[in-house]
């Protein structure tokens, strides 16, 4: 059977829906919008003039392989607990994209490299704004220098942006989960939203950013094993940054361990709009160029973080569908460069500074 369809799991969600609409421009009548709620899938497809097909699928349970007939590519927009569905796709020879930000799950996907090779499938993960664009920017910045001592990745999120429920819950959940970083053979335990650093974003101003457990700082160590890599996150509303930092210091964040509290707060965040929909990344690489100490800073600034992620995912999907790539499991920066996605945004969105 000629495989040509694109299956988007969670395709009617905040990010998945935008990915679908972008891909429909080039692949009408080839998209399958999947999820547990078939009514939401049907409603979404109706809004797309029925150029996509709704299907009911619960990837947390065993999926019938027949539902994957004719599928060339799967785009996973949901957080998963295990890789059973991913492995099913790979064994069916289906290409796969995952947009998860969870490092714990990304490690499980890395382990699927032999299976992907065996069945001639390609899986790409760390796809989106963070991780994703952060990885590509870090690689680009590092390539400007001979050696890298430090990589600072700063992520700015708009408090007034429309964030999907899963993304909000993930951030809230991380506040109570310390993580570990290795540097110079020493293991550090980091509490999320601590270790403040003030970062200047052109057009926005100075903002307080705090260490946060995005996966890029872990996965990029395979390229820069002797470098210190730190990822920080903050919001465009400075008072919100200070408030979350206060919660963390006062240990009141333990209340977020309760599912009901998480759900209530996530709902409030999505309804109460403060700030703007700005989103940004600043990567600072510090090291040497030949024998001179140098620093390179690359800044990205846009609006609507979920659309930025959708554009990157849609571009990677098109690359996989239209061009041959090696079988195996890869982070985005292992197959693509910043040039792949640079055309998606206005030139002023990406600036470089040397010092």
Q: What is the rounded distance in angstroms from the CA atom of residue 219 to the CA atom of residue 44?
A: 35
pLDDT value at residue 163 = 66
Residue 12 tokens, joined: 């009617």
Residue 165 tokens, joined: 């429920």
Could you identify the residue written with the tokens 């540097």? 183
Examine residue 320 and say whether the peptide bond preceding it is cis (omega within 30 degrees of 0).
Answer: no
Question: CA 95 → CA 39, 246, 316, distances in Å?
Answer: 27, 44, 11
Q: For domain 5-128+307-337, is the CATH number 3.40.50.720?
A: yes
- Kindly report the number of other CB atoms within 10 A of residue 194's CB atom: 14
pLDDT value at residue 240 = 86
Angle at CA 140, nearest 5°, toward 193 and 300?
A: 55
- Residue 72's φ and ψ, nearest 5 degrees, are -95, -30
User: Which residues lie below 8 Å from residue 143, measured CB to CB, with a gap of 6+?
Assistant: none
Question: CA 135 → CA 69, 227, 281, distances in Å?
Answer: 33, 15, 11
- The whole-model pTM stands at 0.92
Strand bridging mode 194-201 / 205-211: antiparallel
Angle at CA 64, nearest 5°, toward 59 and 67?
A: 90
pLDDT value at residue 259 = 67
pLDDT value at residue 266 = 60
pLDDT value at residue 256 = 63
- Residue 277's φ and ψ, nearest 5 degrees, are -100, 20
Residue 244 tokens, joined: 């979350």
Sequence-ordered strand ranges (E) for 158-226: 179-183, 186-190, 194-201, 205-211
Residue 92 tokens, joined: 């069916």
Q: Where are the domains of the chain?
A: 5-128+307-337, 129-304+345-354
pLDDT value at residue 137 = 95
pLDDT value at residue 349 = 61
* CATH fold label, 129-304+345-354: Dihydrodipicolinate Reductase; domain 2 (3.30.360)
220 contacts 151 by C-beta, under 8 angstroms = yes
Q: Which pairs with CB-CB distance under 8 Å and at least 24 residues apart come from 339-347?
A: 340/136, 340/315, 340/316, 341/133, 341/136, 341/311, 341/312, 341/315, 344/311, 344/312, 344/315, 345/300, 345/302, 345/308, 345/311
pLDDT value at residue 252 = 65
pLDDT value at residue 347 = 47
What is the mean pLDDT for each group of 10 consecutive residues in the chain (355 residues)? 91 96 98 97 98 97 95 96 97 97 94 98 97 96 94 94 71 84 87 94 93 96 94 93 84 66 62 82 93 90 95 98 97 96 73 68
Facing residues of 98 across strands?
76
Element (H, E) at 244: helix 238-250
pLDDT value at residue 258 = 62
pLDDT value at residue 185 = 76
Element (H, E) at 318: helix 305-322
């Amino acid at each position: 059977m000629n495989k040509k369809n694109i299956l988007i799991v969670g395709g009617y969600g905040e990010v998945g829906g935008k990915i679908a609409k972008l891909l429909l421009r080039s692949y009408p009548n080839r998209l399958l919008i999947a999820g547990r709620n078939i009514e939401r899938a049907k409603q979404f497809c109706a809004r797309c003039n029925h150029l996509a097909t709704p299907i009911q699928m619960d990837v947390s349970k065993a999926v019938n392989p027949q539902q994957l007939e004719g599928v060339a590519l799967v785009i996973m927009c949901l957080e998963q607990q295990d890789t059973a569905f991913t492995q099913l796709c790979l064994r069916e020879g289906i290409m796969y994209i995952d947009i998860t930000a969870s490092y714990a799950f990304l490690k499980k996907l890395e382990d699927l490299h032999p299976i992907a090779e065996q069945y001639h499938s390609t899986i790409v993960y760390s796809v989106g704004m963070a991780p994703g664009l952060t990885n590509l920017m870090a690689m680009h910045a590092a390539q400007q220098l001979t050696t890298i001592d430090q990589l600072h990745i700063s992520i700015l999120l708009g408090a007034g942006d429309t964030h999907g429920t899963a993304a909000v819950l993930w951030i809230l959940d991380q506040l109570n989960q310390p993580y570990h970083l290795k540097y110079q053979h020493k293991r550090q335990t980091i509490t999320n939203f601590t270790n403040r650093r003030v970062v200047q974003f052109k057009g926005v101003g100075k903002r307080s950013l705090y260490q946060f457990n995005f996966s890029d700082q872990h996965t990029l160590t395979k390229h820069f094993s002797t470098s210190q890599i730190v990822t920080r996150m903050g919001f465009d509303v400075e008072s919100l940054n200070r408030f979350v930092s206060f919660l963390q210091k006062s240990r009141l964040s333990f209340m977020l361990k309760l599912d009901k509290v998480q759900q209530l707060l996530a709902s409030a965040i999505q309804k109460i709009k403060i700030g703007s929909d700005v989103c940004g990344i600043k990567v600072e690489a510090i090291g040497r160029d030949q024998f001179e100490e140098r620093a390179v800073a690359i800044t990205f600034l846009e609006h609507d973080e979920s659309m930025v992620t959708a554009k990157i995912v849609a571009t990677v999907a098109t690359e996989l569908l239209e061009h041959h790539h090696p079988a195996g499991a890869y982070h985005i920066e292992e197959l693509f460069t910043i040039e792949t996605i640079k055309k998606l945004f206005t030139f002023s969105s990406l600036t470089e500074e040397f010092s």
